[in-house]
Amino acid sequence: MSVKFDRFLYGGDYNPDQWLEYPEILSEDIRLMKKAHINTVSLGIFAWAKLEPEDGVYDFDWMEEIIDRLYENGISVNLATPSGARPHWLADKYPEVLRVNEARQRDLFGVRHNHCYTSPVYREKVRSMNQALAKRFDGHPGVILWHISNEYTGECHCPLCQQAFRDWVKERYHTIDEVNRRWNTSFWSHDYQNFDQIESPSPSRGEFSIHGLTLDWRRFVSHQTTDFCRMEVEALREAGAVKPVTTNMFYTNSFVNYYELADAVDVILWDSYPLWHKGPETLTAVNSGMQHDVMRGMKREPFLLMESCPGPTNWVPVSKLKRPGMLETASLQAIAHGSDSVLYFQIRKGRGGFEKLHGAVIDHYGKEDDRVYQECRQVGADLEALSAMNHAKVEASVAVIYDWENRWAIEESAGPRNENMYYREAVEKSWYAFRKQGVNMDVIDMTRTLDPYQVVAAPMVYMFRPGFAGRLREFVNRGGTLIMTYWSGVADENDLCFLGGTPGGLMDVMGLRSTEIDALYEGESNTVKSLDSDAVYSCEHLCQLVDLRTAKTLYVYGEDFYAGTPALTVNRYGEGLAYYVCADAEQAFYDDVYAKILREAGVRRILEQEIPDGVAVSSRQSGDAEYIFVQNYNSTPVAFVPRAEGGRVVFGEAGEEMRPFSTVVIEKNC
Amino acid sequence: MSVKFDRFLYGGDYNPDQWLEYPEILSEDIRLMKKAHINTVSLGIFAWAKLEPEDGVYDFDWMEEIIDRLYENGISVNLATPSGARPHWLADKYPEVLRVNEARQRDLFGVRHNHCYTSPVYREKVRSMNQALAKRFDGHPGVILWHISNEYTGECHCPLCQQAFRDWVKERYHTIDEVNRRWNTSFWSHDYQNFDQIESPSPSRGEFSIHGLTLDWRRFVSHQTTDFCRMEVEALREAGAVKPVTTNMFYTNSFVNYYELADAVDVILWDSYPLWHKGPETLTAVNSGMQHDVMRGMKREPFLLMESCPGPTNWVPVSKLKRPGMLETASLQAIAHGSDSVLYFQIRKGRGGFEKLHGAVIDHYGKEDDRVYQECRQVGADLEALSAMNHAKVEASVAVIYDWENRWAIEESAGPRNENMYYREAVEKSWYAFRKQGVNMDVIDMTRTLDPYQVVAAPMVYMFRPGFAGRLREFVNRGGTLIMTYWSGVADENDLCFLGGTPGGLMDVMGLRSTEIDALYEGESNTVKSLDSDAVYSCEHLCQLVDLRTAKTLYVYGEDFYAGTPALTVNRYGEGLAYYVCADAEQAFYDDVYAKILREAGVRRILEQEIPDGVAVSSRQSGDAEYIFVQNYNSTPVAFVPRAEGGRVVFGEAGEEMRPFSTVVIEKNC
Amino acid sequence: MSVKFDRFLYGGDYNPDQWLEYPEILSEDIRLMKKAHINTVSLGIFAWAKLEPEDGVYDFDWMEEIIDRLYENGISVNLATPSGARPHWLADKYPEVLRVNEARQRDLFGVRHNHCYTSPVYREKVRSMNQALAKRFDGHPGVILWHISNEYTGECHCPLCQQAFRDWVKERYHTIDEVNRRWNTSFWSHDYQNFDQIESPSPSRGEFSIHGLTLDWRRFVSHQTTDFCRMEVEALREAGAVKPVTTNMFYTNSFVNYYELADAVDVILWDSYPLWHKGPETLTAVNSGMQHDVMRGMKREPFLLMESCPGPTNWVPVSKLKRPGMLETASLQAIAHGSDSVLYFQIRKGRGGFEKLHGAVIDHYGKEDDRVYQECRQVGADLEALSAMNHAKVEASVAVIYDWENRWAIEESAGPRNENMYYREAVEKSWYAFRKQGVNMDVIDMTRTLDPYQVVAAPMVYMFRPGFAGRLREFVNRGGTLIMTYWSGVADENDLCFLGGTPGGLMDVMGLRSTEIDALYEGESNTVKSLDSDAVYSCEHLCQLVDLRTAKTLYVYGEDFYAGTPALTVNRYGEGLAYYVCADAEQAFYDDVYAKILREAGVRRILEQEIPDGVAVSSRQSGDAEYIFVQNYNSTPVAFVPRAEGGRVVFGEAGEEMRPFSTVVIEKNC
């Protein structure tokens, strides 16, 4: 299923329920929205208390009135199920809906995201609400999408969850002996005698040293959250809803494996809050751009940008204003990477509460002569100008592996650097090195197919999930170019270390055995030196030592007792090549090595030019048109004139230089 | 009521109850006290266990004997009610007297300040104790003052407090709909259905995101503490006590709004522990001096310095010795700012317990040939020399606003800098800029009258408490000079943001609308530049942007996208002037701008000379005499000869230069 | 009792119980062990769940089979009692065996070291297990030592422990009045009315301000742990065991006073994990060397090195590889300081769990061509080469005082530096200054005899434990040289400050009274200057001021208001000399002053040469042979040829220079 709307969605979260005592506000908001080209709002995300003021009593009339008013004005609705925050009466009447923390204390009512995803009562209340909403609103022509709950996250350790976890473990391993074997519980004499003894980890009061348990607990939490989401979707469908469903994700969530949750919804929707103007913009752009590619990679389809902030974000340590042009650039970055929307949190700034100072399209001030409003209006105009590329695809022949379960395993494990393993940073280095060459790229996890790709980077694939090693072998064998790094293939899916040598099962493909890994203190470094040239780069954090078998050495270490031993190797296997990067080298190393690898693998670059630092190039394709996005993230002008043969500039200006925070779009045939 | 004693009080906390097994100690202590000119001690602050060894059984004889002995030796007593630390049997028998923390765990017995101010049992026990003490001791000629409890602080979340909080909320807002409206609870669907659902905030287990709730909880805690204090006073009065009452405050207490507590007592008493010799002394002197002015500003009457430390303070991270002369200088700073006492914690160093290494007049060593004892003796002699100025007033025509509720609101709110908003530092900058010109100054909160003043600085008055905006308008209208800064007038007393533009309700007075506020990371800075001269100053942390209406620009920003926009403005309104400082500029900016403002406003300076850095000038008046204090806080000599026309030096030496840590007092007619 | 084995023990922890499903592993492990000269393994440390799979049902056959197999292959066994981690069924059936933390929450099952040492049930289960093990295995010729439990540590606040603590307090002080007096509870009115009110300290919920209580609680915890250990030993003995017993200690344990625990076992055994390659190796060597001397000092007998790590340690922040030679050097350091063993954690790396990445003799890889295995094999060969010196004694005529209870008292007290008092560092400075002169040294606590020594350093002996001051007086009187430092003799064993002057009771011996102590902020410093030469050294953290009586000044302070007052003094008392170091001076001061003191005291140096930086010299004696160890801890070669008259090199090479991380052993007659 590919979810396509008739235009780029533009708008954001809207909470007229917080303004019911100001009847003039709704009219004024609609006027301001239309003027700003807003065509879509998300409604009802935190409206449960207003939708069901007491148990079983629904009040939907006010919502319908608002949807009607919006629809009459050409504004569509992304309608939320309100399970993201339950009403007070629900927690009072059914305390089981509140979470229990790892110290085994039940939460009080408050904040949000503190409801148990296992609780039968909570599931039943949500199911009934969703069915009622579906019956009333799915048929409304103004409703175009169901926004399931809000930013699912967190975990619960209540007795209901403990039992569900036991059941999940039993379903997975069948016998307690198998659990003991898979979790290696005999270490520290933790052998289980029966399933009833299994409890979730508890750093403050109990167990946290069995990595097999901690890892499976994180899997269970993700599973249970996804199961809750599926229940919400089923409730809508059972009540006859036919509109597509989605749920909003956020990049740093460590509780839910989004590649798993992705399968429960029709289209990916996510919330993006990059810290622009903190440090070099270009690095923020890397982080933000990779996030877009993660989200798109889940389904290899266009996605939706749900929440983004038109002004300063109020809950970060320092709320910087967005410099002029930054909002437009950030919004178009989403489009460039495959989004079919630009949506904000939020349309109108709330008067009180935790996010009352969060940027919004309409300020407390409430009038048009406001810088942020004017910039939002410009973005609305841009999206209308770019409407031809709505739902265009991003075609990538390069992929980087980024895997939630691998991240959990690296985080939970003890050693070689408990301070920081820099997993995400390692992925970003590979991502950025590819991007600098102007190629599109998918970010995928270990469960996804490698068939579409010519080149795959697999940084720090510590844990080989089932089937992954086989897919890598096959990928190289049929002619692909694989780049694997240090700290790969150490453990299986239960975090049990491979015996007999690593990377486990792939020593022949890589042509080497990784032996020891040296961890460096912060501030320490080593170097890696080319054997063919005088290139030297620094490296830090982790240095893997290897014993060569069939691989050939390209770089060696420059210092310490392993000076002269391999730091970058390549091995021919089948029709393909397998590179092994031994150390956490600086970005420039990746840039230079990956450029060469892409060239040798014959990967097509979007532009044939050298791309200056801080300028990003990406593209979307629709029919026989390719839309090439060129963005300058530097806060200074850059001398660069993008040239694509047969292309024409359809957005922005391609003059002698690119202005700071500016975008040029070129359309050409492909 | 103005509380005046017949001499400066000199002495401090004394705990002979800890030395009952050493009968020779009391005699020796009295001998040493008399030799050091000590005339007052505070007794019984932590003596409850000795005063009421079992429930309802009082033993006051030992106390009377001590009071008699002291009185015979010319030493007066500040007699404490012992509610600052309850006896063990009380907690055992009535567990409700122990506090419950925000995580809803009841404290065990221990430390101090962990009794519930709501508990009827605790109140009853304290009431009975106070009445018994009043009956026995109020008539004793040696008792001159009641010291109510000790450093009231902290909060309790027990069921009794929850109910009291609900009652307080109901009394304030009457209906639950009004609570929902004032607290904007519909954000995140937190609407209350009834008052029983209201609970105190709990960062670890429950609610902390409703700013209206967290703010009102802090108000309730302050109210309940003040109410407890009033109950203690009433108990004394009901038993016939006629001596004045006080309670000791400390500057950094965030649990009690001292401007509220001030109204419950007859005279302000406070505990001062500045960190002398940490960084430049002059900055410590600023902090310390402002604290004195805060305390005096509450009643605009002379106050009492209760606890100060003769030697090193033991509970700070690093216990530095006071350099020779520092004790005298710090003690006279209190006098200079309006204190009628210098009192220490404590007279004799305890043998064991948490403060056994805290500085005291009499060391464990116990003899006179001790540096600290000798310095204390000098201070005693100084106070006798200065006795003519006992109860002289500090007359100020300048005020700075520093408001507890505003501080809470700034702290609780999210954004624009969650790291640190630097509210207190902003107040200090204004205070110091005025002080450098040698003017007396009151520090007052938003509830106090502005009538006495020619110039008022209102730094970061984020929350406009009821009536405050009106008083500012009236103050300017009748000819006053107002200086307001960035981040002012953003929210009302419920932390609901003003709609329609800020500073809320005062855009015409200020002649501008504040639009956006940029937060800077630590280490980032901008500049502010004069339009009339080549003066340039740096600024950091926060930069407010404004839209001018009738105001005139005096300074502009030097950098970033808002370079050239206003950084300091002035607006004529009615008979007065309203300045607006847009950015958190460096001290030198405030110094230069405030000097000019004071000059233009015609504020009288105490000395007409230029005052060197690190030298402080202040004055007290009594009848037609003005006593001018000049203090050198520099650790080096400073070339400065204070000259007041018609004045004569009555203390210290006014030679070619002032010695480090030295004081000169000049008396003249006024 | 002096425990001697027939050879240096070489080997380590071995957990074949974790590999029962891999039958080929045991054979391969034995083959690899023999090849590496391994002769001893520790078995069963975490094997309780396998030894007693259900309550009362023992399964020892598998263990016997392993012991047999090892014995047949010449490998002895250090057999553990398994109380270090209890099985799941035990916690399920008897929840009282789980600890309660200071916040009064009972732990869940998990990790290790969370069993209550007071619980009668736990004691009974351990007793039965130990008796069964003793009956079955004590007679086995392969079993040579009982390894009692594992790294006893931690504390429990359960009701059973509270009652045991009350009983312990009552036993110690008899009456509640005496408790109140000793703990000075009248401070803050904390007087106890009866013993039932006594509760352990609780920083998060209750009492932590009575230093007498907190100190006695730490004593009780140590007592209770030692009592548990004695119970374990008795169980073995009652069942007829005759083999020696030991328990493994670790240096940084703050819960157990190891000088107390030492008396419960036959031989000292300890676990050493120095952070080699973090900062200068030489400082790590100091820390590590002093730890060895602490362990040996407890019994003044050879000790055993139990756990050490052949490769990187996985639970430290950064797991560095050991550089080539480091393992050998560190292993021989233990031998040089009096160890009769080199044992590792562990022989074979586990597949999963918290320490799966911890260094081991046999890697997951499992084969011989592994750098770590090869280095282990070398160490095995070294120990065989050095076998003649097995059980040789270290003879010391110098001692440094390092006292657990003093450490607790300094940590618990408030002031003069709550940031860090640097007690351990002060001891290390004295230790290192002596070591640089190449003298052997014991590290002992305040309870040990001073009879064997010519020179004793007593750094920061804040708390004078009973009898200690008398022993110091006697030591000096009979001709010894004492070096005492700042912050000594301040409080008695209940942390009550001495009255009448300090160091309490020793002012005549030291010839001075210490008056005030100045604490310096981090980054601040002062200097100390010689009166005889132009030597100047910096000092920091703490500067004691003194009033001289009979002592003579050798150094004075260079700065601040106490410039020119004494910084180092010496006093003649009886036949001896008493030095007093006033300030926390830099290492070079100690080096120079101690060199002179040793020379004047006529202490014999092991080598008569000047010893270069980073080279360590120590010796062991057996019969009339002295074995002199010279080790280079520098990562660079050092020009040094050790020469001992009449000696011959029996290990290593004494060429022109010493290689990095190399050892030379010289044998000579003594």
Catalytically annotated residues of C? 151, 307
B192 in contact with A, Cβ within 8 Å: yes
pLDDT tens digits for range B305-323: 999 999 999 999 999 999 9
Q: Are strands A442-444 and A398-401 parallel, antiparallel or unpaired?
A: parallel
Nearest CA in chain A to B196: A92
Residue C14, pLDDT score: 97
Instruction: Please report which confidence band the pLDDT of residue B110 belongs to, taking 50, 70 and 90 as the band edges.
Output: confident
Do the Cβ atoms of B319 and C417 come within 8 Å? Answer: yes
Q: Do A353 and B104 touch (CB under 8 A)?
A: no
Closest CA to B273 of B358, B350, B349: B358
The count of other CB atoms within 10 Å of the CB of residue A637 is 14
pLDDT tens-place string over residues A393-452: 999 999 999 999 999 999 999 999 999 999 999 999 999 999 999 999 999 999 999 999
Element (H, E) at C330: helix C326-336
CB of B499 within 8 Å of any CB in chain A?
Answer: yes
pLDDT digits (tens, 9 = 90+) for C90-111: 999 999 999 999 999 999 998 8
Q: Tell if the CB–CB gap between C112 and A188 is shorter than 8 Å.
A: yes
Cβ of A314 under 8 Å from any chain B Cβ?
A: yes
- At A182, the amino acid letter reads R
Q: Is the pLDDT of residue B560 over 80?
A: yes
Complete edge-to-edge strand list for the sheet that includes strand C304-305: C248-250, C269-271, C304-305
Using a CB-CB cut-off of 8 Å, the residues of chain B touching C496 are 351-352, 356
Q: How confident is the model at residue C189 (pLDDT cuts 50, 70, 90)?
A: confident
**By the CB < 8 Å criterion, does A103 face chain B?**
no
The number of C-alpha atoms within 13 Å of C370 and in the hemisphere containing its C-beta is: 26
Mind listing the pLDDT tens digit for each residue in C528-581?
999 999 999 999 999 999 999 999 999 999 999 999 999 999 999 999 999 999
Q: Is the peptide bond before C416 cis (omega within 30 degrees of 0)?
A: yes
Residue A159 clears pLDDT 90, i.e. is over it: yes
Give the mean pLDDT of C171-182.
97
What average pLDDT does chain A have?
A: 96
Residues in chain C within 8 Å Cβ distance of B372: 516
Token readout for A415 is 């050693």
A360–chain B nearest CA distance, Å = 12
8 Å CB contact between B292 and B338: yes
DSSP A437: T
What tokens were used for A515? 């032996």
- Give the mean pLDDT of A363-378: 97
pLDDT recorded at residue A251:
85
What does pTM read for this prediction? 0.96
A129-151 pLDDT, tens digit per residue, is: 999 999 999 999 999 999 999 99
Neighbours of A1 (CB within 10 A): 8
- CB contacts, 8 Å: C413 with chain B: 356-357
DSSP assignment letter at C624:
T
Q: Which residue do the tokens 């901690």 mark?
A: A214
Q: Radius of gyration over alpha carbons of chain B, in Å?
A: 26
Asked if B202 lies within 8 A of A316 by C-beta distance, the reply is no
Instruction: Quote the Cα angle for C158-C164-C165, to 5°.
Output: 90
- Cα separation values, A86 from A213, A389, B549, C38, C277, Å: 31, 39, 46, 64, 54
Q: What are phi and psi of B616, to 5 degrees?
A: -115, 140
Spatial distance between the Cα atoms of B616 and B638, rounded to a whole number of angstroms: 12
Confirm if A371 and B516 have CB atoms less than 8 A apart.
yes
Q: Does C499 touch chain B (CB under 8 A)?
A: yes
pLDDT in tens, A3-48: 999 999 999 999 998 898 898 999 999 999 999 999 999 999 999 9
Handedness of CA C520, C522, C523, C525 (dihedral sign): positive
Q: Which of A52, A96, A151, A155 is catalytic?
A: A151
Contact B89 C193 (CB under 8 A): yes
CA distances from A468 to A465, B278, B444 (A): 6, 60, 69
Q: Determine the angle formed by the axes of helices A423-435 and A404-412, rounding to 10 degrees.
A: 140
Q: Does the structure show a pLDDT above 80 at C451? A: yes
List all chains that touch chain B, counting a touch as 3 or more CB pairs closer than 8 Å: A, C
Between chains, do C318 and A519 touch, taking CB under 8 Å as contact?
Answer: yes
> Could you tell me where the beta strands, DSSP code E, fall in A389-468?
398-401, 442-444, 455-458
Reading the block at residue C152, the tokens are 């006893």
| CB B345, CB B271: distance < 8 Å | yes
Task: Report the gap between the CA of C157 and the closest CA in chain B (Å).
Answer: 13
Report pLDDT digits (tens) over A261-284. 999 999 999 999 999 999 888 888
Coil/strand/helix, residue C32: helix
Note whether A661 and A329 are within 8 A (CB): yes
Q: What is the pLDDT of residues C498-525, one digit of tens each?
A: 999 999 999 999 999 999 999 999 999 9
pLDDT at A385: 97
Closest CA to B652 of B390, B435, B382: B382
pLDDT digits (tens, 9 = 90+) for B35-53: 999 999 999 999 999 999 9
**Strand residue runs (E) in C346-448:** 398-401, 442-444
Q: Hey, what are B133's tokens? A: 């003490």
3-state secondary structure of A46: coil
C351 to A205: CB separation less than 8 angstroms, yes or no: no
B69 contacts chain C (CB < 8 A): no
Residue B41's nearest CA partner among B331, B358, B347 is B347
Chain A hits for B201, CB-CB cut-off 8 Å, are 110
Can you name the residues that pair with B143 across neighbouring β-strands?
A: B77
Q: How confident is the model at residue C604 (pLDDT cuts 50, 70, 90)?
A: very high
Tokens of A553: 């050495």
| Tokens representing residue C252 in the block | 């940084």
Interface check for A93 against chain B (CB to CB < 8 A): the answer is: no
Tokens 């990003």 -> residue: A616
Residues 434-473 (B) with a CB less than 8 A from some CB of A: none
Helices in B511-609 by DSSP H: which ranges? 587-601
Active-site residue, A307 included: yes
pLDDT tens column, B255-286:
999 999 999 999 999 999 999 999 888 888 88
The token pair at C208 is 């932590």
| Single-letter code of the amino acid located at A197 | Q
Is the bond preceding B346 in cis, omega lying within 30 degrees of 0? yes
The closest CB to that of B189, out of A48, A315, A316, belongs to A48
Q: Report residue C555 as tokens.
A: 């150094």
**CA B492 to CA B467: how far, in whole Å?**
11
- Give yes or no for a contact between B46 and B84, defined as CB atoms under 8 angstroms apart: yes
Exposure string of A274-294, with b = 16+ CB inside 10 Å and e = fewer, is bbbbeeebbbbbbbbbbbbbb
- Which parts of A9-148 fold into alpha helices (H)? 23-35, 48-51, 61-72, 88-93, 120-137
| Amino acid sitting at position B418 | N
pLDDT at residue A295, as a whole number: 97
In which residue are the tokens 């001051």 written? C469
Please tell me if residue C355 touches chain A, with a CB cutoff of 8 Å. yes
Nearest Cβ partner for A371 among B497, B500, B516: B516
Comparing CB atoms, the residue among C49, C53, C353 nearest residue A209 is C353
Smallest CA–CA distance, residue C211 to chain A, in Å, is 27
Nearest to C427 by CA among C404, C447, C450: C404
Helix or strand run (H / E) with residue A566 = strand A566-573
User: Looking at the predicted structure, is the pLDDT value of residue B111 above 90?
Assistant: no
Any idea which residue has 């300090």 for tokens? C502
Q: What is the mean pLDDT of chain B?
A: 96
Task: State the pLDDT at residue A508.
Answer: 98
Integer Cα distance of B530 and B553 in angstroms: 9
| Residue pLDDT, tens place only, A331-365 | 999 999 999 999 999 999 999 989 999 999 999 99
Q: Cα–Cα distance between C383 and A164 in angstroms, integer?
A: 55
Between A and C, how many CB-CB pairs are < 8 A?
172
Neighbours of chain A (3+ CB pairs under 8 A): B, C
**Nearest chain B Cα distance for residue A586, angstroms:** 26
d(CA C189, CA C192): 9
Percent of chain C with pLDDT over 70: 100
* Cβ burial, residue C59 (10 Å; 0-12/13-18/19+): exposed
CA atoms within 13 A on the CB side of C36: 34
Residues of A in contact with B207 (CB under 8 A): 108-111
Tallying the residues shown for chain A, one arrives at 670
CB contact under 8 A, A188 and C46: yes
Tell which phi-psi region holds residue A638, choosing left (phi > 0), alpha (psi between -120 and 50) or beta: beta
pLDDT of residue B576: 98
Phi, psi of B242 (to 5 degrees): -120, -10
